[in-house]
Amino acid sequence: MHDVYDVAVIGAGVVGCAIARELAQYNLRCVLIEAGSDVGVGTSKANTALLHNGFDGKPGYLETRLVRRGYDLLSKYGAEVGIPIEHIGGLLVAWTDEQLQSLPEIRETAQINGAHNVDFISLDELYRREPYLGKGALGALEVPSESIICPFTTPLAYATQAVINGVELCLNSPVQRIETGPDYHTVHYPGGAIRTRYVVNSAGLHADTINGMMGHDEFHITPRRGELIIFDKMARGLVSHILMPVPNKVTKGVMISPTVFGNVLLGPTAEDLEDRSASQTTDAGLNSILKKGSQILPDLLNHEVTSTYAGLRSATEHGDYQIHLHPEQRYLCVGGIRSTGLSASMAIAEYALEQLESAGLRLQRKAEFLSVHMPNIGEAFTRPYQSDAMIQANPDYGRIVCHCERVTRGEIIDAANAPIPARDFDALRRRTRAQMGRCQGFFCAAEVTAILAKASGQPVEHLLSLEQQA
């Protein structure tokens, strides 16, 4: 049947985008359906931006296996397509006797998981490596492979590669209803519907809702809010590694980490909620992480805060990922991907395709699979304003517009014209860092507005969400 897709992926977060990219390698007609106005706008945009190597995962869990595998796949892919990744290593620091006593067990777990380089370091060594660390650390494990990654470029790279290889991207399309059928399913969203043989549910916080539309009920999602504080880049010299707390049952705890943009991140909180849109920060949340931060890295609090945000993780009542295949229905549910989705994304996608193939999806490789190269927004790699060659080719790369983040006019125009274009300020921020910095638009908001409006062909009122009043 001509108008039936082979696969519809519901949810363009980092997991859905990775699956779409994996599917794009095969001779299939695929569509990626997203409720939001861009890819990577749910949990994927507000997280701790770690490329986690899964050393502390529960042995035997699917999550642990996929995080371990995903780490390797994404490290390699990131280097190929230009996703900023820095392998700076982590330090797991114990501050109480109880935490200290659990370190040997964590090391043992790491051994079982194959992370053989996780080992104790002396307190002297700890303070030598992190001279600004607060007083009172009792012991530490080093996790050499732990890395930081750009959480924005990753889903964008996947989705861009999917789109240029023929996957259709359907934004602003929250799925309202799915009619299941023996030959195909019909997925309805406001103003349209598509028919598809296979359905992949990677709807993140809404994965249980979509699962329900398909007639299943294996899990329920309880959003877990994590509030985070980003400190000014001038604090970057205070910390060289990812400073991880010793985890307890609820969460990995509050950490301090450099970011690939050169800032320092503090957080997250862990608060279970029912409201799946409650991504606002709170006074109590921000204060609690500031308090913890002041113990881990006291000097950090002397620096200015650049931004605060909150993300919702899709926790369930189960410990492990909720990946369920219903072959008779040609339906794969990829739910409950908690906080490790970014690290595991490529392995989840690989695993998802194995599952789909086992349910009868025919995978025949395309003759050609186009590669992508993403604009670099990481500090560890050359950015346009630093490249004489790029500026000579296009003087707009020499015109810095966002001064705090050194984003050029050329990059803003590129983002508005990319295969998946930036249509609003948040999308632009994720692609270029424009207005992400310490002044939050004091110097450049008006200029960025003018450039984006022109380059994306939208009225300024629309960009500023002022239309209803016009």
Other C-beta atoms within 10 Å of 81: how many? 18
Residues 287-316 close enough to bind another protein by CB under 8 A: 302, 304-309
Q: Report cis status (omega within 30 of 0) of the bond before 421.
A: no
What's the min distance (Å) between Cβ of 5 and another protein? 31
Distance CA 181, CA 97 (A): 58
Residue 117 or 386 having the CB closest to another protein: 386
Find the helix or strand (DSSP H, E) in which 353 lies: helix 341-358
Q: CB-wise, 270 or 404, nearer to another protein?
A: 404
Beta carbon nearer to another protein, 76 or 291 = 291
Taking the complex as a whole, how short is the minimal distance between the CB of residue 441 and another protein, in angstroms? Answer: 5
Q: Work out which of 3, 124, 217, 388 binds another protein, going by CB under 8 A.
A: 388
For the four alpha carbons of 317, 321, 327 and 329, in that order, the dihedral sign comes to: positive
165 vs 10, 25, 26, 195, CA distance in Å?
A: 18, 8, 9, 20
C-alpha–C-alpha distance, residues 383 and 412, integer Å: 13
Interface stretch with another protein, choices 83-91, 116-124, 356-364, 382-390 (CB under 8 A): 382-390
Q: Is 183 helix (H, G, I), strand (E, B) or coil?
A: coil
Residue 273 sits in the site that holds another protein (CB under 8 A): no
Residues in contact with 193: Cβ distance below 8 Å, sequence separation at least 6, in sequence order: 186, 187
CA 331-336-341 angle, 5° bins: 100
Q: Is 380 an interacting residue with respect to another protein (CB under 8 A)? A: no
Of residues 179 through 218, those in contact with another protein by CB under 8 A are: none
Q: What is the smallest separation between the CB atom of 20 and another protein, expressed in angstroms? A: 27
Segment contacting another protein by CB under 8 A, of 112-120, 148-156, 172-180, 444-452: 444-452
- Does 285 bind another protein (CB under 8 A)? Our answer is yes
Q: Which is nearer to another protein, 222 or 449 (CB)?
A: 449
If the CB atoms of residues 79 and 466 are measured against another protein, the closer one turns out to be 466
The catalytically annotated residue of 2, 52, 324, 403 is: 52
Stretch of 24-32, 313-321, 344-352, 383-391 contacting another protein, by CB under 8 A? 383-391
Max Cα–Cα distance, the chain, nearest Å: 68
- DSSP three-state, residue 298: helix
Closest CA to 297 of 93, 442, 66, 86: 93
- When binding is defined by CB under 8 A, the residue of 209, 247, 439, 458 that contacts another protein is 439
Q: Kindly state whether residue 274 participates in binding another protein, applying the rule CB under 8 A.
A: no
Q: Rank residues 193 and 400 by Cβ distance to another protein and give the closer one.
A: 400
* Cα gap 127→141, rounded to integer Å: 13
Q: Of 52 and 233, which has the nearer Cβ to another protein?
A: 233
Judged by CB under 8 A, the residue of 101, 122, 371, 440 near another protein is: 440
- Candidate list 3, 217, 283, 368; residue touching another protein; CB under 8 A: 283
Spatial distance between the Cα atoms of 361 and 327, rounded to a whole number of angstroms:
10
111 binds another protein (CB under 8 A): no
Out of 122, 395, 417, 419, the only residue in the binding site for another protein (CB under 8 A) is 395
**Among this protein's residues, is 373 annotated catalytic?**
no
Backbone angles phi, psi at 396, to 5 degrees: -65, -20
What b/e readout covers 192-206, taking b as 16+ CB neighbours within 10 angstroms?
eebbbbbbbbbbbbb
CA distance 386 to 191: 45
- Compute the residue count for the chain: 470
Of 325 and 439, nearer to another protein (C-beta) is: 439
469 binds another protein (CB under 8 A): yes
Bridge pairing between strands 192-201 and 4-10: parallel
**Rounded to the nearest whole angstrom, what is the least distance from the CB of residue 72 to another protein in the complex?**
35
Q: Which residue numbers are catalytic?
A: 52
Residues engaged in binding another protein (CB under 8 A)? 233-234, 279-283, 285-286, 302, 304-309, 385-386, 388, 391-392, 395-396, 398-400, 403-404, 406, 425, 438-443, 445-447, 449-450, 460-461, 464-466, 469-470
